[in-house]
């Protein structure tokens, strides 16, 4: 007879293989946050190039002040779901402000971005419908599609021709198809060709949902994401996003012009059956939204860090992602080799993310770096110095 715990033992054994005695790539413990891009790990000040704090707003005085004030006025939590006692005026205000920012009819706010994706796809789609997913879509989008009961149809990453082929195979004449892509993809830092994707959706009468989780902030004139940057905002039926990156909080949202979206407040289970965002969090996100869409010099600073980091990595001989974006993947090799580099880099005071299979091929594991407007030239140069030193010592890049 199988033991239910056996599966967990196997996973624990795999995780142990990734650890060394001091630090764990899957759960690096941060003892203290010094500022938006420095933390303390194992007693050492560590420069962070592996967070999603794209505009450094977790430490912006307006965000912190708004959160503190809400904590004082409303207490630490709502202790209820949106349909019970968990709707404060500020939840409604944030929905209105998001809708206004995107120039859309309505917005709905969720307790996390993950739950937002489950809620939107689960409310729109059911058995008999088709969800067409880019192969590199985030786990929350796959889980959302699975949970909805719709038939999942994958298409090649960022390949409109593959999408067109898959759409062409569906039964003709239906309006029961939802295409889901991201603006900026979180592993390889590449951007969706949204104009071509919009064209294929229009041709096949499919709805389009774009997850702008990583692109909200750095992309577009007002920071609304890749659809804005590529001039196709009006053609996107549903834009979803998260508060856990540029907006420096926790939660998710959807915006849309379809009036039917209001029904999410009544039927989306991941919205109905969970507690709402805490007052301090929602107040902080409202402040962050105003800053992110209003102070566009923050985006300029992110891009400055991106270009400096990429130029330095290329000059030293690192293999990095082809697209200039705030996410900079550095290909190392096998998982063992990548972990060796990751540990050495952390020991030298730099935190980056590890990307392992299935998110990448087994022989092309990555160190994933991400840039923030809080990164100064000096921060970037320090990161390059650490990576260069480790890379040369371990033979990842040529000696000078
Ligand atoms: C593309 C994408 N969608 C959704 C999410 C989920 O966001 P949250 O952290 O708010 O649950 C993430 C988080 O990494 C993401 O990258």
The owner of tokens 């105003």 is 290
Q: What mean pLDDT do residues 250-266 have?
A: 96
Question: Given this model, what pLDDT does residue 18 score?
Answer: 65
Q: 293 forms bridges with which residues in the sheet?
A: none
* Position in ligand 1 atom list of the atom nearest CA 242: 10
Tokens (6 digits) for 225: 């994401």
Alpha carbon 196 to chain centroid, angstroms: 22
Q: How confident is the model at residue 19 (pLDDT cuts 50, 70, 90)?
A: low
Alpha-helical (H) ranges within 183-324 are 194-203, 226-229, 264-267, 269-272, 279-294, 297-316
Percent of the chain with pLDDT over 90: 92
Cα torsion at 49, 52, 58, 62 (round to 10°)?
120
Going by pLDDT thresholds of 50, 70 and 90, the confidence category of residue 400 is: confident
pLDDT confidence tier of residue 312, bands split at 50, 70 and 90: very high
Counting from 1 in the atom list of ligand 1, the atom nearest the Cα of 137 is 1
DSSP, collapsed to helix, strand or coil, labels residue 320 as: strand
State the DSSP code for 230. T
CA of 214 to the centre of ligand 1 (A): 8
Atom of ligand 1 nearest to the CA of 113: 10
Segment 201-215 mean pLDDT: 97
- Ligand 1 pocket member 241 (CB < 6 A): no
Edge-to-edge order in the sheet of strand 350-351: 32-35, 38-41, 44-48, 350-351
138 in ligand 1 pocket by Cβ < 6 Å?
A: yes
Structure tokens at 59: 């430490």
* Poorest-pLDDT segment among 16-20, 259-263, 302-306, 358-362: 16-20
Name the pLDDT band for 95 (thresholds 50, 70, 90).
Answer: very high
242 CB less than 6 Å from ligand 1?
yes
| Predicted confidence (pLDDT) at residue 23 exceeds the cutoff of 60 | no
- Beta strands at 207-211 and 238-242: parallel, antiparallel or unpaired: parallel
114 lines ligand 1 (CB under 6 A): yes
Quick: pLDDT tens for 354-385.
999 988 999 999 999 999 999 999 999 999 99
Cis peptide before 383 (omega within 30 of 0): no
Interatomic CA distance for residues 84 and 276, integer angstroms: 10
| Nearest protein CA to atom 10 of ligand 1, as residue | 113
Spatial separation of the C-alpha atoms in residues 1 and 4, rounded to whole Å: 9
Token pair 């404060």 in the structure block, residue: 88
Q: How many A from CA of 250 to the centre of ligand 1?
A: 10
Ligand 1 centroid, distance to 213 Cα (angstroms): 6
Domains of the chain are 17-48+296-393 (3.90.1150.10), 61-294 (3.40.640.10)
**158, 126 Cβ separation under 8 angstroms:** no
140 lines ligand 1 (CB under 6 A): yes
Confidence class for position 305, pLDDT limits 50, 70, 90: very high
**How far is residue 70's CA from residue 278's CA, in Å, rounded to a whole number?**
9
CA of 109 to the centre of ligand 1 (A): 14
Mean pLDDT, residues 256-272: 95
pLDDT exceeds cutoff 80 at 15:
no
Q: Is 60 in the pocket of ligand 1 (CB under 6 A)?
A: no
Q: What's the 159 CA to ligand 1 centre distance in angstroms? A: 22
**In the predicted model, what is the mean pLDDT of residues 246-265?**
96
Q: Tokens standing for 39? A: 């933390």
Cα 242 to ligand 1 centroid, rounded to whole Å: 6
Supply φ then ψ for residue 80, to 5 degrees.
Answer: -170, 165
- Report whether pLDDT(332) > 60: yes
Name the strand (E) or helix (H) holding 122. Answer: helix 113-124
Overall average pLDDT of the 256-261 stretch: 95
What percentage of residues in the chain have a pLDDT greater than 70?
Answer: 98
Q: What pLDDT score was predicted for residue 24?
A: 66
**Which residue carries 């550095």 as its tokens?**
330
Closest by CA to 136, choosing from 207, 183, 197, 185, is: 185
Residues 160 and 195 sit within 8 Å (Cβ to Cβ): no
Indicate if ligand 1 lies below 6 Å from the C-beta of 375: no
**Does ligand 1 lie within 6 Å of residue 181's CB atom?**
no
- Measured in angstroms, how far is the CA atom of residue 241 from the centroid of ligand 1? 7
pLDDT in tens, 146-161: 999 999 999 999 999 9
CB 387 within 8 A of CB 307: no
pLDDT value, residue 35: 94
Q: How confident is the model at residue 252 (pLDDT cuts 50, 70, 90)?
A: very high
Mean of the per-residue pLDDT values of the chain: 95
The separation between the first and the last C-alpha atoms of the chain, rounded to the nearest angstrom, is 59
pTM, to two decimals: 0.96
Q: Which atom of ligand 1 is nearest to the CA of 115?
A: 11
**38 CB neighbour count, 10 Å cutoff:** 16
Greater pLDDT, 27 or 163? 163
Cα(220) to ligand 1 centroid in Å equals: 19
- If you measure from the C-alpha of residue 147 to the centroid of ligand 1, how many angstroms do you get, rounded to a whole number? 17
Task: For residue 252, give the ligand 1 atom closest to its CA.
Answer: 10
H-run or E-run covering 182:
strand 177-182
pLDDT in tens, 214-229: 999 999 999 999 999 9
């Amino acid at each position: 007879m199988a033991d239910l715990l056996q599966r967990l033992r196997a996973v624990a054994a795999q995780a142990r293989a990734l650890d060394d005695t001091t630090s764990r790539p899957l759960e690096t413990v941060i003892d203290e946050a010094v500022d938006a891009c420095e933390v303390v790990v194992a007693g050492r000040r560590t420069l962070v190039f592996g967070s999603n704090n794209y505009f450094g707003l977790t430490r912006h005085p307006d965000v912190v002040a708004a959160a503190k004030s809400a904590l004082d006025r409303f207490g630490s939590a709502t202790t209820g779901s949106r349909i019970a006692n968990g709707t404060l005026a500020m939840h409604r205000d944030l929905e209105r402000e998001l809708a206004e920012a995107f120039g859309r009819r309505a917005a709905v706010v969720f307790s996390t971005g993950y739950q937002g994706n489950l809620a939107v796809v689960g409310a729109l789609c059911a058995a008999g419908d088709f969800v067409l997913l880019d192969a590199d879509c985030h786990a929350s989008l796959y889980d959302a599609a699975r949970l909805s009961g719709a038939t999942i149809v994958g298409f090649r990453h960022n390949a409109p021709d593959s999408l067109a082929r898959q759409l062409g195979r569906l039964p003709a004449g239906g309006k029961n198809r939802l295409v889901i892509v991201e603006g900026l993809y979180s592993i390889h830092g590449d951007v969706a060709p949204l104009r071509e994707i919009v064209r294929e959706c229009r041709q096949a009468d499919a709805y389009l949902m774009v997850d702008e989780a990583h692109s909200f902030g750095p992309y577009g004139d007002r920071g609304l994401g890749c659809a804005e940057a590529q001039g196709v905002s009006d053609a996107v039926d549903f834009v979803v996003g998260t508060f856990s990156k540029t907006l420096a909080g926790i939660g998710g949202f959807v915006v849309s012009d379809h009036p039917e979206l209001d029904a999410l407040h009544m039927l989306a289970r991941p919205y109905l059956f969970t507690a709402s965002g805490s007052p301090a969090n929602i107040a902080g996100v409202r402040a962050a939204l105003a800053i992110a869409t209003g102070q566009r010099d923050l985006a300029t600073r992110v891009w400055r860090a991106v270009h400096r980091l990429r130029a330095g990595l290329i000059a030293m001989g690192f293999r990095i992602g082809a697209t200039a974006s705030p996410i900079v993947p550095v290909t190392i090799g096998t998982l063992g080799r990548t972990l060796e580099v990751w540990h050495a880099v952390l020991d030298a005071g730099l935190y980056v993310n590890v990307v392992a299979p299935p998110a990448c091929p087994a022989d092309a594991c990555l160190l994933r770096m991400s840039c923030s407007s809080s990164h100064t030239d000096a921060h970037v140069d320090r990161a390059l110095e650490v990576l260069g030193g480790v890379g040369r010592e371990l033979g990842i890049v040529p000696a000078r």
